[in-house]
Amino acid sequence: MTLNELHINLGRIVREALTDHSRSRRELAERLGISESTMARRLSGERGFNMVEVMVTAAWLGEPAGDWMKRAGMDELAAA
């Protein structure tokens, strides 16, 4: 697993969570204090979310951030 793959996986997981909770990219961008274009890059995996953004997003959506990180492959990357 590469860092880029982790970014892509995490972006996919966050996109799915936004859909599941009927929230928009724009709402999340406002919550995190970033532009919509930066949010689009984060969700596509072009640029990664930082840990604070992951924690804030997960808390906002009522999801466990640790599960997201495991699903994205963080444990694999850390073990490499």
d(CA 1, CA 15): 20
- Under a CB-based contact definition with an 8 Å cutoff, are residues 13 and 53 in contact? no
CATH class, 3-79 region = mainly alpha
d(CA 2, CA 77): 7
Grade residue 80 by pLDDT with cuts at 50, 70 and 90.
Answer: low
35-73 tens-digit pLDDT: 999 999 999 999 999 999 999 999 999 999 999 999 998
17-27 tens-digit pLDDT: 999 999 999 99
